[in-house]
Chains A and B, each alone.
Chain A
Amino acid sequence: SQTIHQWPATLVQPVGSPLSLECTVEGTSNPNLYWYRQAAGRGLQLLFYSVGIGQISSEVPQNLSASRPQDRQFILSSKKLLLSDSGFYLCAWSPNRGYYGYTFGSGTRLTVV
């Protein structure tokens, strides 16, 4: 069966420090991958999505970047964190053809101090 792993679960980072969040999927090939951010008590904001290795689409101009170095690995990065980067980050995957539900990771709570 397919599983998705996201880590770390929580992270406290100082302003100006770098960031790397990792997401991996098991049990499927060539998935669509997504990074969302959720502010406290709010909906989900799509940050990046990828339909294949090296193919990244950015939805919102920001201090973040994403990479997909392997088929089932999706990384969210920043060179210098801002206070406004605090939030709950969620990775998700879906099959690459057709319209299906997403499977989400358990999320990373990032607090920038």
Chain B
Amino acid sequence: SQQGEEDPQALSIQEGENATMNCSYKTSINNLQWYRQNSGRGLVHLILIRSNEREKHSGRLRVTLDTSKKSSSLLITASRAADTASYFCATAQTGANNLFFGTGTRLTVIP
């Protein structure tokens, strides 16, 4: 399969804690992206990291990319109840016209 895989499938933490989600993929990529999906809604683009980048920050989000291991992680610091959602990684594979999405991590932040 060309899809990525997120780990864990589900994560439950207390408000204020950090949440870390991982993504593994199998092919060469141009970039890797993370998306958020609230229940029953469309996906929202969070952050994009290019294959020549190792780390990127956006507000409380920190993304790392290790192309040698074909893996990425998304860290959400100081989580809030409003961060409760599903998070998906997606890879822009070299030569492909579309993104390949992982199966997602369901994050629950308990107030």
B41→A49 contact, CB < 8 A: no
Q: Are the CB atoms of A44 and B97 closer together than 8 Å?
A: no
| Chain B: minimal CB distance from A52 (Å) | 11
Q: State the interface size on chain A (CB cutoff 8 A).
A: 26
Q: Is the CB of B98 within 8 A of A106?
A: no
Could you tell me how many residues of chain B have their Cβ less than 8 Å away from some Cβ of chain A? 24
Question: What's the A-B contact tally at a CB cutoff of 8 Å?
Answer: 55
Distance A109 CA – B39 CA, assembled complex (angstroms): 12
Which among A41, A44, A46, A104 has the greatest number of chain B C-beta atoms within 10 A? A44
Q: Does A105 contact B (CB under 8 A)?
A: yes
Identify whether the interface residues of B are mostly helix, strand, loop, or mixed: strand
| Interface residue A31 (Cβ < 8 Å from any Cβ of B) | no
Kindly supply a per-residue 1/0 record for chain A positions 72-113, scoring 1 wherever the CB is within 8 Å of any chain B CB and 0 otherwise.
000000000000000010101000000111111111010000
Which B residues between 22 and 61 are near A, CB-CB below 8 angstroms?
30-31, 33, 35, 40-45, 48
Q: Are A43 and B103 in contact (CB under 8 A)?
A: yes
Contact present for B98 and A46 (CB under 8 Å): yes
Partner of B31, one of A42, A51, A99, A103: A99
Q: Which residues of B contact A (CB under 8 A)?
A: 3, 30-31, 33, 35, 40-45, 48, 88, 90, 92, 97-104, 106
Interface residues of A, Cβ cutoff 8 Å to B: 6, 32, 34, 36, 41-44, 46, 49, 51, 57, 59, 88, 90, 92, 99-107, 109
Q: Can you report 25 A-B residue pairs in the complex whose CB atoms are below 8 A from each other?
A: A32-B98, A36-B101, A43-B3, A43-B88, A43-B101, A43-B104, A44-B43, A44-B88, A46-B98, A51-B97, A57-B97, A88-B40, A90-B42, A92-B42, A99-B48, A100-B48, A101-B48, A102-B33, A102-B35, A102-B90, A104-B44, A105-B42, A106-B41, A106-B42, A107-B40
